[in-house]
């Protein structure tokens, strides 16, 4: 299943388009199934209704664990690198990981969880997080991992949306020099979550927590009561594997649903190919398991291929901006998969943190999460890859389950800031606003996908109509990505960024409507408008225009209050970088906010604001421009 030449890529691509069922049927043979499928694919994009490997039975953990025991039971599956480099790292072999997953799966059963139940996981980046995820999959429970940076309210909304029965968390998390009280946050969230019956708490930072009688139990106690034998639950290929919430252009995050069979095949196939993974190599993805990148390329993809996956608890700059390079050297990392925002941040420290670091183990580099600018691409290439490691700029989304457009390491000629070509099985097209296909090269348009792939989302939890509206209705019979894209003279794709009201801040997706809702919840605020603006490190920063709130004479304090509100409602990741108080917003006569104008103003590009004559009060634009000058 591994592509080794560009010619083979072209052949596989051709085959995947001409005969998708045969192509994916063959790829799927590389996995372990309890029962084969009777139909590889049935689909329509109208409802949408997508089924891969219909009739097949499997358990993804048998593919990620059991099937490796004989050949590589003693090989490291996970190498855990703690936040504090003074602490010991932990290596779990496939045998050990299998044992612990089975044991914890029994803990879940003991606490009433069964096939189909939803389980919320809110944990630090420790081996037990991967264990918890896999234990859910082992018993057929549906995991919903929530990133550790979200607030109690965000957690409660997500738990209630999918009616989780069990929560798995820890006393706290380390993040650089900071400590985050995870259990306190969960306690606040659970006040409003009637469906949660049990909360399993891992001891990690050893901070005092409140344990509610009847509801809360300790991980360490629970594992003593069970053994480590747990037969994997037999799952249908189309049974739900997990839910992952993500932001869109409307206010409420949606629960993207992935299923067992197709997701497994797609995560495994793309991992093996894009990174050209070789047996025995050490692979390090710096994402958090709370995001899709961590699901597909720390846990499921690598483990399904018997790889050694590094799981890092900390941040790139703690205790020093050499941390990534120390980890590369210490664990002899062969593949480093990270985000442009991390690269730009590390770049800003100059060459000093790289001095005397041995990066010679690096063979492949990867980038994900947002467009990578040329400067960062070249720095990554020269300073980290020493000009010898191919960079795979991987474009994909929570909804796509796995990498879609990307070079294949050692196979596809790369080009700075281009995600290059679609992987086999992926049929991208560019369309104009009217949904007309834009053919040929050297063109720009909105990026859509016209044929299903195994890793695609099946629905949004509890609201299929929303899935249809969001992804399949903008352009009939196409999956719409929300991204703008250009295709150059060589047919190479470059993703230019979102064309909807979704921001990408440090590689995290944040809906402008979500941030506005949060700001508007502040007592003194009546209305606000949020847009993105270019930010040197974060890629995009959040710019909030807030209609003069009641400030009681203290503008700075009011700003801090608003930031506090956003932190409470969503989480610190959604805090605006800039807040500007204005007396009004540019609105059309029908009352719609003209974000286009605010975006230009936030970008500092006020020379070309376009037609403002349709505005209700054109004078407000000049007033806002004047006010922005004072802000800088
Ligand atoms: C995997 C992930 C998805 C959005 C996507 C796009 C942006 C991701 C990119 C990229 C340019 C890349 N994006 N990878 N843009 N080049 N290589 O990030 O999923 O969090 O759902 O974000 O991120 O805008 O639509 P998710």
Average pLDDT, the chain: 96
pTM, 2 dp: 0.96
Q: How far apart are CA 56 and CA 33, in angstroms?
A: 7
Single out the residue of 599, 593, 608 nearest to residue 628, CA to CA.
599
pLDDT at residue 105, rounded to an integer = 98
> 104 alpha carbon to ligand 1 midpoint, in Å?
33
Pure H helices in 81-122: 94-110
Is 398 touching ligand 1 by the criterion CB < 6 Å? yes
328 has a pLDDT exceeding 70: yes
Q: What is the CATH number of the domain that holds 513?
A: 3.30.300.30
Phi, then psi, of 500 in degrees rounded to 5: -110, -170
Question: Which range has the worst mean pLDDT, 21-25, 155-159, 422-426, 503-507?
Answer: 503-507
> 185 alpha carbon to ligand 1 midpoint, in Å?
28
- Mean pLDDT over 259-279 rounds to 98
Is 480 touching ligand 1 by the criterion CB < 6 Å? no
Q: Whose CA is nearest to atom 1 of ligand 1?
A: 397
Question: What 8-state DSSP symbol labels residue 587?
Answer: B
Report CA Rg, the chain. 24
Q: Which residues span the domain enclosing 238?
A: 6-468
> 547 alpha carbon to ligand 1 midpoint, in Å?
32
> 344 alpha carbon to ligand 1 midpoint, in Å?
17
251 has a pLDDT exceeding 80: no
Of 445, 468, 491, at which residue does a domain stop? 468
Judge if 507 and 459 occupy the same domain: no
Of 418, 444, 468, at which residue does a domain stop? 468
pLDDT one-digit tens code per residue, 349-398: 999 999 999 999 999 999 999 999 999 999 999 999 999 999 999 999 99
Residue 560 Cα distances to 55, 564, 577, 597, angstroms: 55, 6, 11, 26
Q: Which atom of ligand 1 is nearest to the CA of 508?
A: 20
Pure H helices in 521-592: 555-569
- What angle (nearest 5°) sits at the alpha carbon of residue 298, between those of residues 292 and 300? 80
- Mean pLDDT over 326-336 rounds to 98
Determine, yes or no, domain membership for 478.
no
Probe target for ligand 1 pocket from 147, 374, 397, 412, with the most ligand atoms within 8 Å of CB: 397
> 191 alpha carbon to ligand 1 midpoint, in Å?
34
Q: Whose CA is nearest to atom 11 of ligand 1?
A: 371
pLDDT at residue 563, rounded to an integer = 97
Residue spans of beta strands (DSSP E) within 379-434: 391-394, 428-431
Judge if 385 and 512 occupy the same domain: no
Determine, yes or no, domain membership for 262.
yes
Helix (H/G/I), strand (E/B), else coil: 589? coil
Q: Is 56 or 632 the better-scoring residue by pLDDT?
A: 56
> 337 alpha carbon to ligand 1 midpoint, in Å?
14
- What angle (nearest 5°) sits at the alpha carbon of residue 137, between those of residues 133 and 142? 85
Confidence of residue 621 (pLDDT cuts 50, 70, 90): very high
pLDDT at residue 549, rounded to an integer = 85
Count CA atoms within 13 Å of residue 393 on its CB side. Answer: 26
Helix (H/G/I), strand (E/B), else coil: 106? helix
Judge if 508 and 415 occupy the same domain: no
Judge if 464 and 518 occupy the same domain: no
How many structural domains compose the chain?
A: 2
Single out the residue of 58, 56, 53 nearest to residue 40, CA to CA.
53
Single out the residue of 151, 162, 166 nearest to residue 196, CA to CA.
166
Q: Whose CA is nearest to atom 16 of ligand 1?
A: 371
Residue spans of beta strands (DSSP E) within 308-371: 308-312, 335-338, 364-368
> 398 alpha carbon to ligand 1 midpoint, in Å?
8
- Mean pLDDT over 574-585 rounds to 95
Judge if 102 and 150 occupy the same domain: yes
pLDDT at residue 632, rounded to an integer = 66
pLDDT at residue 250, rounded to an integer = 80
Is 254 touching ligand 1 by the criterion CB < 6 Å? no
Judge if 554 and 438 occupy the same domain: no
pLDDT one-digit tens code per residue, 456-503: 999 999 999 999 999 999 999 999 999 999 999 999 999 999 999 999
Helix (H/G/I), strand (E/B), else coil: 487? strand
pLDDT at residue 612, rounded to an integer = 82
Probe target for ligand 1 pocket from 495, 499, 573, 574, with the most ligand atoms within 8 Å of CB: 495
Determine, yes or no, domain membership for 445.
yes
- Mean pLDDT over 280-287 rounds to 98
> 486 alpha carbon to ligand 1 midpoint, in Å?
15
Is 393 touching ligand 1 by the criterion CB < 6 Å? yes
The β-bridge relationship of strands 479-487 and 493-498 is antiparallel
Determine, yes or no, domain membership for 476.
no
pLDDT at residue 616, rounded to an integer = 87
Confidence of residue 611 (pLDDT cuts 50, 70, 90): confident
- Tokens 């993500």 belong to residue: 246
Judge if 459 and 560 occupy the same domain: no
pLDDT at residue 607, rounded to an integer = 85
Determine, yes or no, domain membership for 487.
no
Is 498 touching ligand 1 by the criterion CB < 6 Å? yes
Judge if 105 and 151 occupy the same domain: yes
45 has a pLDDT exceeding 90: yes
> 397 alpha carbon to ligand 1 midpoint, in Å?
5
143 has a pLDDT exceeding 80: yes
Determine, yes or no, domain membership for 11.
yes
pLDDT one-digit tens code per residue, 432-442: 999 999 999 99
Judge if 392 and 535 occupy the same domain: no
The tokens for 333 are 């990392």
Q: How far apart are CA 474 and CA 451, in angstroms?
A: 16
Judge if 460 and 506 occupy the same domain: no
Determine, yes or no, domain membership for 473.
no
pLDDT at residue 124, rounded to an integer = 98
Question: What 8-state DSSP symbol labels residue 234?
Answer: P
Judge if 452 and 542 occupy the same domain: no
> 184 alpha carbon to ligand 1 midpoint, in Å?
31
424, 13 contact by CB (below 8 A)? yes
Judge if 515 and 453 occupy the same domain: no
pLDDT one-digit tens code per residue, 157-171: 999 999 999 999 999
Q: How far apart are CA 308 and CA 112, in angstroms?
A: 32
Is 98 touching ligand 1 by the criterion CB < 6 Å? no
């Amino acid at each position: 299943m591994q592509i080794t030449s560009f010619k083979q890529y072209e052949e596989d691509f051709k085959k995947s388009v001409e005969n998708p069922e045969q192509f994916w049927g063959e790829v799927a043979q590389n996995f372990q199934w309890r029962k084969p499928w009777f139909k590889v694919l049935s689909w329509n994009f109208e409802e949408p209704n997508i089924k891969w490997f219909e009739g097949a039975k499997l358990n993804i953990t048998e593919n990620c664990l059991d099937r490796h025991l004989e050949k590589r039971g003693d090989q490291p599956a996970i190498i855990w690198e703690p936040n504090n480099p003074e602490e010991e790292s932990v290596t779990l072999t496939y045998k050990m990981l299998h044992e612990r997953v089975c044991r914890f799966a029994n803990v879940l059963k003991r606490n009433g969880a069964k096939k189909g139940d939803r389980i919320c996981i809110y944990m630090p980046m420790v081996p037990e997080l991967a264990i918890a995820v896999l234990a859910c999959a082992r018993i057929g429970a549906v995991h919903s991992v929530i990133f550790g940076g979200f607030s109690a309210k965000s957690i409660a909304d997500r738990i209630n949306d999918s009616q989780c029965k069990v929560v798995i968390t820890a006393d706290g998390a380390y993040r650089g020099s900071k400590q985050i009280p995870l259990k306190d946050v969960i306690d606040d969230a659970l006040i409003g979550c009637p469906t949660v019956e049990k909360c399993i708490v891992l001891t990690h930072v050893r901070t005092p927590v409140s344990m509610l009688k009847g509801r809360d139990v300790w991980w360490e106690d629970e594992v003593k009561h069970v053994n480590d034998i747990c037969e994997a639950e037999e799952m249908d290929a189309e049974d739900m594997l997990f839910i992952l919430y993500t932001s869109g252009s409307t206010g409420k995050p949606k629960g993207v649903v992935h299923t067992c069979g197709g997701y497994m095949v797609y995560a495994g196939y793309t991992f093996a190919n894009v990174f050209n993974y070789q047996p025995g190599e050490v692979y390090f993805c710096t994402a958090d398991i709370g995001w899709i990148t961590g699901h597909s390329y720390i846990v499921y993809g690598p483990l399904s291929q018997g790889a050694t996956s590094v799981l890092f608890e900390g941040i790139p700059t703690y205790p020093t901006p050499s941390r990534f390079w120390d980890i590369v050297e210490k664990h002899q990392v062969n593949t480093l998969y990270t985000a442009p925002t991390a690269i730009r941040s590390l770049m800003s420290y100059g060459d000093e943190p790289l001095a005397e670091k041995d990066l010679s183990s690096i063979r492949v580099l990867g980038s994900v999460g947002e467009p990578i600018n040329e400067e960062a691409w070249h720095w990554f290439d020269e300073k980290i890859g020493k000009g010898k490691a191919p960079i795979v700029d991987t474009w994909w989304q929570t909804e796509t389950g796995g990498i879609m457009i990307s070079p294949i390491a050692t196979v596809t000629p790369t080009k700075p800031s281009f995600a290059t070509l679609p992987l086999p099985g992926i049929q991208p097209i560019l369309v104009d606003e009217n949904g007309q296909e834009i053919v040929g090269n050297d063109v720009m348009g909105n990026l859509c996908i016209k044929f299903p792939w195994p890793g695609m989302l099946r629905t949004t939890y509890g609201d299929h109509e929303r899935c249809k509206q969001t992804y399949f209705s903008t352009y009939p019979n196409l999956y719409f990505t929300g991204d703008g894209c250009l295709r150059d003279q060589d047919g190479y794709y470059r993703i230019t960024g979102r064309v909807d009201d979704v921001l990408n801040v440090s590689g995290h997706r944040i809906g402008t409507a979500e941030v506005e809702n949060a700001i508007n919840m502040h007592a003194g605020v009546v209305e606000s408008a949020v847009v993105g603006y270019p930010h040197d490190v974060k890629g995009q920063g959040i710019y909030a225009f807030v209609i003069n709130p009641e400030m009681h004479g203290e503008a700075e304090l009011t700003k801090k209050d608003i930031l506090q509100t956003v932190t409470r409602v969503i989480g610190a990741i959604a805090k605006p970088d800039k807040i500007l108080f204005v007396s009004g917003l540019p609105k059309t006569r029908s009352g719609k906010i003209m974000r286009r104008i605010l975006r230009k103003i936030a970008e500092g590009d006020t020379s070309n604001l376009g037609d403002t004559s349709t505005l209700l009060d054109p004078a407000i634009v000049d007033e806002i421009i004047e006010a922005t000058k004072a802000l800088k």
